[in-house]
Amino acid sequence: MSKTPAPNASALRVLIAGAGIGGLAAAACLLSRGIDCEVYEQAPELKEVGAGLWLSVNGARVLFALGLEPAIRASTIEADERAVRLWDSGRKWTLYKRGVSSGAHAPFIMLRAQLHRVLIDAVERLKPGVIQLNKRCTGFSQQDGKVRMEFADGTSAEGDVLVGADGLHSKIREKAFGDTPGRFTNALAWRGLVPMERLKPHHRALTATTWVGPTAHVTVYPARFAEQDLMTFSGQVERSDWRLESWNEKGSVPECVNDFAGWHPDVVEIIENTESLHKWGLFVRDPLPRWSLERVTLLGDACHSMVPYLGQGVNMAIEDAGVLARCVEKYAADPALALQKYQDARLERTTKVAARSAGMQHTFHNPALAEPESAAKYAEAQWNPASAKARYDWIYEYDATQVPV
């Protein structure tokens, strides 16, 4: 996995705030190029919420280049089919079928905890003890070509570059660029997992399905964890009374069923059998005009959080990681230039993906879907093969291991 670093690169020390998927992917990409790094995580232990994750080919490409394909394939399911269905009648449109239409759209379906584990194992193999827990970053300073990171426990760490991969409420972003409040989108996301054995047999097909309706949509897909077959449930609903931007808030089955009252019995059956439902207020932020400040930069949700309608938040963080490591290696003699090149390579793409994700709210939720006749016309226009190709291919075709830096 590891290769000989470029001159100067091996002399650098990169500090990373946050051991989420973005921070760990960055560490894996840097270490595999022979660039030293340390990861500082605020949490006392490494764990991820039990929710489904959609690793699309653009994200997978970066991890496969690190030699992680076998580990990823061992914990994922590849969908045979991707489909859109109408919220009330269940009428179905197939976007692709494996082996029949383009396989480029086939995502690797896994749980967040599974991808997190693959990345933890990868960085620990490359540098044992690289992740330091209980290290909440409170700020940083830059002086004499070095950057110093400060922690809540009163300690500090010094390096040549600091990467803020500290998520949505990033401290590094706040210290570097000030407060960037989110705007509530009048929608919330429900997330949960269902043991497949509780569902009727027809749910067991390896199909990733998005159910679309006038003011809500649902995405369900199969996953497998610790030998157990699961269905992942994600429901997005327009509702203005819940404005907490946090993964950790629990919701109840009756509340969720109420949000999908009148929906097809398959959707209701899935919700009624869902374990540990969480709800999350969906916010958008204006794109940052820049996210590198001399030897400090941002990565993942810290610099371009997005609503989950294209399933790209994790994938953008992984793409960032791949490009960042290439820039740090190539411009090792001038770390500030390396971070500028990284920002230049990523800003336009992530801004576009975030904007398109936000725009999908009105595609997935549309008044035309309220009546059967207009709903069928609408679905045929939105999800015919040509529309689906135009909507998704540019996302999946991006190659973070090759784009010019």
Ligand X SMILES: Cc1cc2nc3c(=O)[nH]c(=O)nc-3n(C[C@H](O)[C@H](O)[C@H](O)COP(=O)(O)OP(=O)(O)OC[C@H]3O[C@@H](n4cnc5c(N)ncnc54)[C@H](O)[C@@H]3O)c2cc1C
Residue 5 or 308: the one with the smaller Cβ distance to ligand X is: 308
Q: How far is the CB of 142 from ligand X (least distance, A)?
A: 18
Instruction: Return the axis-axis angle of helices 313-330 and 21-32, rounded to nearest 10°.
Output: 30
Residue 159 or 308: the one with the smaller Cβ distance to ligand X is: 308
Among 43, 74, 100, 206, binds ligand X (CB under 6 A): 43
Q: How far is the CB of 318 from ligand X (least distance, A)?
A: 8
Closest C-alpha among 118, 147, 41 to residue 318:
118
The verdict on 251 binding ligand X (CB under 6 A) reads no
The answer for residues whose C-beta is within 8 angstroms of residue 1's C-beta and 6 or more apart is: 32, 66, 67, 122, 125, 126
Interacting span for ligand X (CB under 6 A) from 257-265, 300-308, 350-358, 370-378 = 300-308
Q: What string marks each residue from 117 to 146 as x (binds ligand X by CB under 6 A) or -?
A: -------------------xx---------
Of 381-400, binders to ligand X (CB under 6 A) are none
Residue 314 or 388: the one with the smaller Cβ distance to ligand X is: 314
Question: Which single residue is written with the structure tokens 């396989």?
Answer: 103
Residue 9 or 230: the one with the smaller Cβ distance to ligand X is: 230
Residue 299 or 345: the one with the smaller Cβ distance to ligand X is: 299
The verdict on 116 binding ligand X (CB under 6 A) reads no
HSE of 305, CA atoms in CB hemisphere, 13 A: 21
Residue 310 or 336: the one with the smaller Cβ distance to ligand X is: 310
Of 311-370, binders to ligand X (CB under 6 A) are 311-315, 317
Residue pair 41/15 in contact (Cβ under 8 Å)? The answer is no
Phi, psi values for residue 329, rounded to 5°? -70, -50
By CB under 6 A, the count of residues binding ligand X is 33
DSSP structure string for 167-211:
-TT-HHHHHHH-----EEEEEEEEEEEEEGGGS-GGGGSSEEEEE
The verdict on 280 binding ligand X (CB under 6 A) reads yes
Count, residues in the chain: 405
The verdict on 167 binding ligand X (CB under 6 A) reads yes
Among 14, 16, 23, 221, binds ligand X (CB under 6 A): 23
Cα-Cα-Cα-Cα dihedral sign, residues 222, 225, 229, 230: negative
How far is 307 from 15, CA to CA, in rounded Å? Answer: 28
How far is 306 from 357, CA to CA, in rounded Å? Answer: 7
The verdict on 92 binding ligand X (CB under 6 A) reads no
Q: Which positions are catalytic?
A: 221
| β pairing state of 137-143 and 275-284 | unpaired
Residue pair 131/26 in contact (Cβ under 8 Å)? The answer is no
Residue 100 or 244: the one with the smaller Cβ distance to ligand X is: 244
Among 12, 16, 19, 270, binds ligand X (CB under 6 A): 19
Residue 251 or 313: the one with the smaller Cβ distance to ligand X is: 313
The verdict on 54 binding ligand X (CB under 6 A) reads yes
Interacting span for ligand X (CB under 6 A) from 15-23, 119-127, 153-161, 285-293 = 15-23
Q: How far is the CB of 381 from ligand X (least distance, A)?
A: 25
Q: What is the amino acid identity at position 291?
A: W
Among 5, 9, 22, 309, binds ligand X (CB under 6 A): 22
Interacting span for ligand X (CB under 6 A) from 95-103, 195-203, 295-303, 326-334 = 295-303
The answer for residues whose C-beta is within 8 angstroms of residue 325's C-beta and 6 or more apart is: 26, 29, 30, 32, 33, 35
Among 166, 259, 319, 329, binds ligand X (CB under 6 A): 166
- Residue 404 burial (CB < 10 Å; 0-12/13-18/19+)? exposed
Q: How far is the CB of 51 from ligand X (least distance, A)?
A: 7
> Alpha carbon 256 to chain centroid distance?
23
- Token pair, residue 266, equals 């398959």
Chain residues that interact with ligand X, rule: CB under 6 A:
17-23, 40-43, 53-54, 136-137, 165-168, 171, 189, 191, 280, 300-302, 308, 311-315, 317
